[in-house]
Copies of this chain bind each other. A is one copy, B any other.
Amino acid sequence: MRLTILGCYSATPRSLTNPTSQVLEIKNHIFLIDCGEGTQVQLRKSKVKFSRIKHIFISHLHGDHFFGLPGLISTFRLLGREKELHVYGPKGIKEAITLLLKLGDSWTNYPLHFHELNSKETELVFEDESVTVSTIPLDHRVYTNGFLFREKLAQRNLDINAVKQYKIDKSQFNNIKAGKDIVLEDGEIVKNELLTFDPPKPKSYAFCSDTAYKESIIPLIKNADLLYHESTFLESEKHLAPKTKHSTALEAASIAKKANVGQLILGHYSTRYKSIELFKEEAKAVFENVDLADDGAIFDF
């Protein structure tokens, strides 16, 4: 899995910082997560092929997570896109996008599907043979979801030497990878674990922005390999967090620790801070394996 941060600063776009947007490469997918103004330029800078994006997940309808979407959808049309596009986001997103396209008399000539969300409980929003995506209900000023991206357990890996040794025919390989025991011609049963290696442990990525400190998300993101958790404020401004329904670096770290995640990435920094290094320092007091998102940063895991 590879996570590319296109933008990770809160509030307003600036000359050198961008509002929230990320690209997650997982199995064969390129998922776009949130789409602040300027996302399509950031996508170009990161050399992401536009046509490979088929699914866009929008956490909430504040401008810094969403105002780049109408332009991206229009650009797809100008580029001659034919492949369908799926957009997952809060109820209302369809009305907003379709109104803007109608006013510009610029309907897409590719299929555009909206999957509107309004549940306060977690729900599975995408699934195929290799990946699931489910919502992480967050606590913000408007209806907001994070998203949990999870690989499925792959098939078992064939132990090619063992298979040769037992002289097993190729026609059985799919059964073996699916975990079945094999009956040899002489009636001997060979246990699957003698013929295979464990598949790689499935990985998972939890995206949580924007939210006040919310312990009820912990069971949903438990043991995730990577957690992106917003940290708008430092301790010096922690009094602003509950009021604006955002989190501090320390709170993000506390969630990471309680959820036992592998690594924490901080982001959604208030633009009041000159440097973001203090976010890492404050989080480290609670959770060791923490890193800072920054525009253009790439995390492989």
> Residues of A at under 8 Å CB distance from B?
11-15, 37-38, 40-41, 44-45, 60-64, 66-68, 70-71, 74-75, 78-79, 90, 92-93, 95-96, 99-100, 103-106, 141-142
Contact = CB atoms under 8 A, between A and B. Distances in A.
Nearest to A70: B67
A90 B141 CA distance: 32
B15 A44 contact: yes
Q: How many copies does the complex hold?
A: 2
24 contacts: A11-B78, A12-B71, A12-B74, A13-B38, A13-B40, A13-B41, A13-B71, A37-B37, A37-B68, A60-B104, A61-B103, A62-B104, A63-B71, A63-B74, A63-B104, A63-B106, A64-B74, A90-B103, A93-B103, A95-B99, A96-B100, A96-B103, A103-B142, A104-B142
Contacts of A96: 99-100, 103
Given A38-B37, A63-B71, A68-B37, A14 B44 contact: yes
Contacts of A61: 100, 103-104
A142 to B, nearest CB: 5
Contacts of A13: 38, 40-41, 71, 75
A19 to B, nearest CB: 8
Contact of A14 (B11, B41, B64, B100): B41
A104 B67 CA distance: 11
